[in-house]
Structure 1
Amino acid sequence: MPPHSRASGSRQGAPGLLAACLALTPLGAAPGPVDVPATPSAEEARRAAQEELSKAVYQERPSLAQLIWDWLQEHLSPTHLVPGVPAWVSVVVTLVAALALLAGLVYVLRYLTWARRARLGSRRLFEDPRDAASLTRAADAAAGTGDWATAVVERFRAIIRSLDERGLIEDYPGMTAREAATLAARALRSLGQELRQAAALFDSVRYGHVQATRQQDEWIRQLAGQVASLRPTETQKGQV
């Protein structure tokens, strides 16, 4: 190909390439500078970091114990238990209610303990074969030291043992205070009520429900004297 032909082809190809580039560029669009990310300021960086760290994924989750404590604080706080009243009134009402509940619980537990001891423990009247005189001496010795519980218990035993020795009743293994009082009341009808009261006192003192006193020991001492001086109203022995 002649040289002038190659030069002519190059000049003709340049306008064609320019036309193709213009065809790919939107009409009216002017070339502009290339976008370059701007460097944020220190304040903007700080805010961005705070926003990122405030997201839930970065927060420390409370433990189960902390969740339970927070719930108790929110729902069982003494200042909020009584709605519609000042905080101090709610606290006072809550404390009074708690003390009343505690006192009731203590009473119930004491009663259940006493009932269990009375039910499961031995309720036998006699635990040894001592005679009435020995039981009376034991009661007097206990009274001399201020042991009114032992004095009351031993004195009632002395009363029942004395009736057995006189042939007015017949004791037997496993006899309870109430059973003994029932037999004694049949033989000594005029003292029947007092004997039953003495049996109830024996059970109450023996099983810890009542704290015996000097007056109770004196009363049962007088009852023992009346029993010793009284004649039976029936000639037969008391029967169960």
Structure 2
Amino acid sequence: MTPTPVPAAALGLYACGRLRAPAPRDVPATPDADQARRAAEEELAKPVYHQAAGLWERIWQWLVEHLDPRAAVPGAPAWLSVLIVVVLALALLTALVVLFARVTWARRVTRTGTALFEDDRDAAALTRAADAAAGQGDWTTAVVERFRAIVRMLDERGVIEDYPGMTAHEAALLAARPLGELAAQMDEAARLFDAVRYGRVVSAPAQDAWMREFADRVARAPLAPPVPTGQVPA
């Protein structure tokens, strides 16, 4: 069978098309680990990734420039500016110390409502403990134990009734009516007890001597009828 002849024009177009067809591009290979690391390092080295660090550096530079004590007071000599900064810093430190002391004091004051008694010793035992502490120069313990002895003595004489959790202030209120003219001194003794017990006042021999004398006066005083049990005067 004789093949069909191809026109010369078609052969020409086919040849031209093969000559003008673009050469195939090389397909890029997948980068290995080293190439990927270098690419990441080059990317991170660009300035855009260091803008945050530059911002913090500018802030730090501003603080250094504006907090320089030599230039803290505009128009003042460097030595005067430094002196003013030092004085203000010392004043601030003093204010903080005073504030801390007041907070500590307030915390101690809130503790003055704790129980007056820690055991069930009678008045005689508490008095002996106070005398022993005074003999050793422990005036804090002497004052505390002697006031407890006074309250326990009033309980033993039947004019007040102590109870678990009683405070020095409550004891003074209960004893106000039975003690009569000694009520004001009883209140003062209760305040001294709280101040010495909780460290607001450093006890001294004179305070123990005053508490001892007051205890003697209470022991000799004629006492009024007791307040009904469980009632605290307003």
TM-score of the two chains, using structure 1 as the length reference: 0.64
* Per-residue deviation, residues 104-126 of structure 1 (Å, max 9, x unmatched): 32232233234334436871000
State whether residues 139 and 155 of structure 1, in contact with CA within 8 Å, keep that contact through their aligned partners in structure 2.
yes
Question: Where has structure 1 moved over 6 Å in runs of 4 or more?
Answer: none
Match of residue 10 from structure 2: none
Match of residue 36 from structure 2: none
Asked if 1:236 is matched to 2:204, the reply is no
Asked if 1:170 is matched to 2:161, the reply is yes
Contiguous gaps of at least 5 residues in structure 1: 1-60
- CA deviation after TM superposition for structure 1 residue 168, in Å: 1.3
Which is further off, 172-181 or 100-109? 100-109
Matches within 5 A, 1:135-150: 135-150=126-141
In structure 2, do the counterparts of structure 1 residues 120 and 198 end up closer, same or farther at CA, with 3 Å as the change threshold?
Answer: closer
Asked if 1:226 is matched to 2:217, the reply is yes
How far apart, in 2, do the equivalents of 1:87 and 1:127 lie?
63
- CA deviation after TM superposition for structure 1 residue 204, in Å: 1.7
Match of residue 203 from structure 2: 212
Match of residue 107 from structure 2: 116
- CA deviation after TM superposition for structure 1 residue 78, in Å: 3.7
Counting aligned pairs with the same residue, the percent is 58
In structure 2, do the counterparts of structure 1 residues 100 and 220 end up closer, same or farther at CA, with 3 Å as the change threshold?
Answer: farther
How far apart, in 2, do the equivalents of 1:186 and 1:132 lie?
21
Indicate the RMSD between aligned Cα atoms, in angstroms. 3.0
- CA deviation after TM superposition for structure 1 residue 236, in Å: 2.7
Match of residue 96 from structure 2: 105
Asked if 1:184 is matched to 2:175, the reply is yes
Query: Which is higher, the Rg of structure 1 or of structure 2?
Result: 1
Contiguous gaps of at least 5 residues in structure 2: 1-52
State whether residues 114 and 207 of structure 1, in contact with CA within 8 Å, keep that contact through their aligned partners in structure 2.
no
In structure 2, do the counterparts of structure 1 residues 70 and 215 end up closer, same or farther at CA, with 3 Å as the change threshold?
Answer: farther
State whether residues 116 and 167 of structure 2, in contact with CA within 8 Å, keep that contact through their aligned partners in structure 1.
yes
Match of residue 149 from structure 2: 158
- CA deviation after TM superposition for structure 1 residue 175, in Å: 0.4
State whether residues 168 and 184 of structure 1, in contact with CA within 8 Å, keep that contact through their aligned partners in structure 2.
yes
* Per-residue deviation, residues 206-226 of structure 1 (Å, max 9, x unmatched): 222222222222211111111
- CA deviation after TM superposition for structure 1 residue 187, in Å: 0.9
TM-score of the two chains, using structure 2 as the length reference: 0.65
State whether residues 142 and 151 of structure 1, in contact with CA within 8 Å, keep that contact through their aligned partners in structure 2.
yes
Which is further off, 94-103 or 157-166? 94-103
How far apart, in 1, do the equivalents of 2:94 and 2:77 lie?
26
Asked if 1:75 is matched to 2:66, the reply is yes
